[in-house]
A and B are shown apart, each in its own frame.
Chain A
Amino acid sequence: MDLQIALLLGQDGIVNGAIYALLALALVLVFAVTRVIFIPQGEFVAYGALTLASLQIGQTPGTLWLLMVLGVAVTALDAPALWRQGCRAGPKIYGLIGRQIAYPLVIAALVLGAQPKDWPMLLQVLLALAVVVPLGPQLYRVAYQPIAEASVLILLIVSVALHLALVGLGLLFFGAEGSRTPAFSDASLEVGGLTISGQSMWVVGASLVLIIALYAFFERSLYGKALRATAINRAGARLMGISTTLAGKLSFLLAAAIGALSGILIAPLTTIYYDTGFLVGLKGFVGAIVGGLASYPVAAAGALLVGLLEAFSSFHASAFKEVIVFTLIIPVLVWRSLTTRHVEEEE
């Protein structure tokens, strides 16, 4: 292997690693706040990419129907409790109907009536995000909120079920064929004989911007601090009026946004199938495990390591690429279990 190839593989690794890092951050966030190991994270990657691809070829993405169905389901679940509260809950009922019924209808009108096929790419991306991202809090409401106090294991089982359901729906919505979207830009950069594609720069740049934005959100904004507070001390946060439900929905919103955006970023680099998300999400999960599902910077570094390891092993032993990446989890777990004190789960 000469330097040229090493640089090429390194570039590949960093681009993939950046995506894994984003997903690892989302997994750590969701776990810290809700104790849910969010296996369906990967489905948001696939849904984001495939929804964009559908919009670009003028098809109606099936995720739109999911958005509307879940909107009705959430309304049906939340309305009775608000109804019982009587007139005090009036604005809340309007808010609920606005978010869960009116919003999906507006998005549907845009998708079906406004010819998004001919829109500029940026608007298509925003529309795809507008379809996919609200699915995060909706799924939290339907699948996790009723069992928010359950054990980590039960939440994990629900995650597996949700993952399988969403993969099945993905097949129904988008078919078995994969899709690839056009690159954000055709520009490329020559650095010392190495060609860096515009899309690679987009991926790395957007990931960095997102990571900085997330950092600012958690350090500076009230809601970011509220999420951190919930992760640190759930009982204390509730006494401040930070509801577990609010924190859960907010973290799922962020996770869905990160997932969908990751999918949209990598869609021009690799063909995305309805079930691609799972593998991508799992690699983010390996990164998150390196960080012990607790540390954001270590998780991001771990995810970058996963990306580089994957790139180099695909060159040296491409048949074992996935095996090598996932085997990484074993020494990491051994090392973690030797170096950290085991803490019994509270509650």
Chain B
Amino acid sequence: MYQSTITITLRPSILDVQGKAVELGIHTLGLTGVRNVRIGKSIQLTVDAATEEEAKRVTEEACRKLLANTVMEDYSFTVTKL
């Protein structure tokens, strides 16, 4: 068994309006040195696979076909043995 932890963010070329709004909130707290707030998603999967390579392949396919829309999002993930 493996655990995949996936991070999905908007592609750098896309304006993250949610991130911009949150950045404004952070500045209102007085934390004026904060910049480039980007909001994304974290998704965890437990993958029943024999090898780490297989777990990565399954995770990759899930990301590419469903979890991320690569027109607007990038994804990355780590896989650890449970």
A, B assembled together: no
B: residues with CB less than 8 A from A are none
A: residues with CB less than 8 A from B are none
